[in-house]
Amino acid sequence: MIKLFFSLMLSTSLFACQSTPTNSASKVALAKVVTVDKIDTTGLENAYMTGGCFWKMDAIYQMVKGVKFVEVGYAGGTTKNPTYEQVGTRKTGHSETVHILFDPKIISYTDILKIFFNVHDASILNQEGNDVGNDYRSAVFAINDSQKSVAEKMIADINAGKQKAYSDHIVTVVEPFKNFYRAEEYHQNYYNLHPDEGYTYGVVRLKVEHFKSMFVDKIKM
């Protein structure tokens, strides 16, 4: 069960998803940062979701076959161009969000969401492990009616027991997409640039391995 897996896994770590830009400049330079304006988006679709620390979602979706671009940022709130520190006050309404550009000819939005629900604990309101607050809430930001319908049906099916990933009722909400602000560059590709740090090694790495074990057919070669 997903709920049991994450409860056991996160109980082994006291780390939380927190970082500062200290000593990150050189690592950012090595990241060869790509922004969405440099991507050929022809034929691609957007997906936005939030479920715990965005470093985890970034690392996982980078590995997914059919995903062409991933970035992390802030969505769902009212403050324009928020900083990481502002979002962390829980007063902006934003949450740590992943933005995905994917090729629907290779992977469907349904499968994007299946991965989402299997790599975070959606059964606790505004919390995943030691990450607590509305900036870590479980939410899908639907960009159109089709995405809204797919997400709502999947949530209903999970809560009706048609999908056996969860033994508990999940609290994920579906919200209309309103905004997305790219996070500071030191948050981009964080897991791959900081694999040995406490949180990335103790928490994100295990979630990445969990994803790889569950979705073998969805991993890029």
CA-closest candidate to residue 97, choices 125, 121, 70: 70
**SS3 category, 93:** coil
Distance of CA 206 to the CA centre of its chain: 15
CA distance 10 to 1: 14
Kindly list the catalytic residues: 53
Residue tagged 């309404």 (tokens): 93
Contact criterion met (CB below 8 Å) for 74 and 181 = yes
Task: Write the CA distances from 160 to 1, 46, 49, 85, 168, integer angstroms.
Answer: 15, 28, 22, 38, 10
Contact criterion met (CB below 8 Å) for 172 and 56 = no
